[in-house]
Amino acid sequence: MRFDACAAYILANLNRSVLYVGVTSDLVTRVAAHRQRLEPTSFTARYRVDRLVHFEAFEDITVAIKREKQLKGWSRAKKLRLIEGDNPLWMDLWDRITS
C-alpha cells in the first residue's frame, strides 16, 4: 500500500546525532527526495539525514504545518521521547510508507 498523505515527519542520520523536522503534502515523494539527496547543498544532504524515524499523517496540510512548527519548537530531548515512544529501535520507516 502506498502512503501519499500530508504529514509532519522527523528524519535522522544513521548514528542519530542529527534530527530534521519537516512537513509535506506527499510523504513518499518528499522522503525519497531526501534519500536521493536531490539537493546536494541542503541540510539533509550535507548531514546525510535520510532515515524516516517518525511521521504523523493529516488530512489537512494546514494542520500538518501547525504540527511541524510545534515539533520544531520542542527540545531535542522531547523529540527523542516522541520517536522512542513509537519507534524504540529507531527503525527506518521507509518500508512502512512504501509497501
Asked if 69 and 26 touch (Cβ cutoff 8 Å), the reply is no
CATH topology of domain 6-98: GIY-YIG endonuclease (3.40.1440)
Number of other CB atoms surrounding residue 89 within 10 Å:
6
Asked if 30 and 52 touch (Cβ cutoff 8 Å), the reply is no
Q: What is the pTM of this model?
A: 0.95
| In the chain, domain spans | 6-98
SS3 content of the chain, % helix, strand, coil (to 5): 45, 20, 35
User: Rounded distance, CA 46 to CA 83, Å?
Assistant: 22
Q: What is the pLDDT of residues 24-57, one digit of tens each?
A: 999 999 999 999 999 999 999 999 999 999 999 9
Q: What is the pLDDT of residues 59-91, one digit of tens each?
A: 999 999 999 999 999 999 999 999 999 999 999
* pLDDT level of residue 3 (50, 70, 90 thresholds): low
